[in-house]
Amino acid sequence: MKFYLVKLIKGKIMRLQRIAIIILLIEMTFTPADAQWKHIGKDFTLKETTTISELSEHPEKYYNRDVKIEGVIASACTNEGCFIEVVSKDGKGEGVLVNFPELTHRFPTDCAGYEVMVEGMFYQKIYPESRVNHWQGHSFRKGIKIPEFSLIKRIHAKAVSISEKKSTAPNPDEIIPASISRIDLNTMEFEADGFGGGKKSLAPGDKMEEHSSGNYREIVFCLEGVLTVIKQGVEPVTLNSGEMTYIPPDTKHEIKNQSDKPAVYLFVFARKIEPEAKKHEH
């Protein structure tokens, strides 16, 4: 009886081992392609991919909308991994500068040349020479002349996957100079040294994710519809058309459209005033 039980147990162990080996072989055979990608951030939600050349040719169609792009990383911040620049594999279209809001995630500092998928909110913004020069110091379009003001296409990333497959990093493209005589806030934002602004549209149920005002003061001016502004430490504020609210520096805030109609608002920000050092009185 004892011999029979031992034999039975050994038989079951061997069968379990065979099953485990079969499962392992199946997993190795059918490992999804995603396993070869380093994923950062949330899961992808968009199925359709927008080409970078399409973003370049028709930015007004995608401004302030979530998009998904694929391409090659032309440059990456070599200092802290705070941004990557993504270009099309075929070289068509301008590069898109990608970062996670509030730098909640960072990129490998040596990821230039790798293929990448990105999902997030697309926008474009005019920047002063000083800001672009700062990026260039961290590898952005090395050696390219920087205009006084530049129009830069950007994505606030929600999800990023970087492939293990490396390609040759393309040569940096020219930086597009921007006119500041007249700026269409329907298609771009503006920033100068110490201040700037832009325009946002929120469909019913949409929101601007929580973020901090950081080193800046900000006003939010409701143009159309009804907005709910939630500021850290105070009761939510409802803004109707023609009303505004002030957001102090270092304040986390979120802007929502909780109504059943579209809402539009302007935002203007300015660097906070540093207290003057008191002179020593003799």
The tokens for 4 are 């029979």
Mean of the pLDDT values across residues 60-68? Answer: 95
Per-residue pLDDT averaged across 61-86, rounded?
94
* HEC secondary structure over 212-251: ECCCEEEEEEEEECEEEEEECCCCCEEEECCCEEEECCCC
**Residue 54 CB burial class (10 angstroms; 0-12, 13-18, ≥19):** middle
Distance CA 117, CA 86 (A): 9
88/49 Cα distance (integer angstroms):
12
The pLDDT assigned to 170 comes to: 72
Q: Which residues contact 195 (CB under 8 A, 6 or more apart)?
A: 268, 269, 270, 271
Average pLDDT over residues 149-155: 96
Q: What's the average model confidence in pLDDT over 134-153?
A: 91
State the CATH architecture for 194-271: Sandwich (2.60)
Give the per-residue pLDDT at 29. 40
What is the distance between the alpha carbons of residues 164 and 174, in angstroms, rounded to a whole number? 28
Is pLDDT at 5 greater than 70 in this prediction?
Answer: no
Q: Which residues contact 173 (CB under 8 A, 6 or more apart)?
A: 87, 94, 95, 141, 144
Task: Specify the pLDDT at position 33.
Answer: 44
Cα 161 to Cα 159: distance, rounded to the nearest angstrom: 7
Cα 89 from chain centre: 20
Amino acid occupying residue 37? W
Which residues does 162 contact at the CB level (< 8 Å), separation at least 6? 37, 38, 40, 73, 107, 108, 111, 114, 115, 116
pLDDT number for residue 220 = 97
On whether the 38-187 domain is CATH 2.40.50.140, my answer is yes
Distance, C-alpha 128 to centroid of its chain: 20
Prediction pTM value: 0.80
Q: Which of 6-20, 24-38, 72-86 has the lowest mean pLDDT?
A: 24-38
Structure-model confidence comparison of residues 140 and 119, the more confident one: 119
| 170/226: higher pLDDT | 226
Which is higher by pLDDT, 107 or 36?
A: 107
Annotated domain spans of the chain? 38-187, 194-271
Question: What is the average pLDDT score of the chain?
Answer: 86
More confident residue, 144 or 226: 226
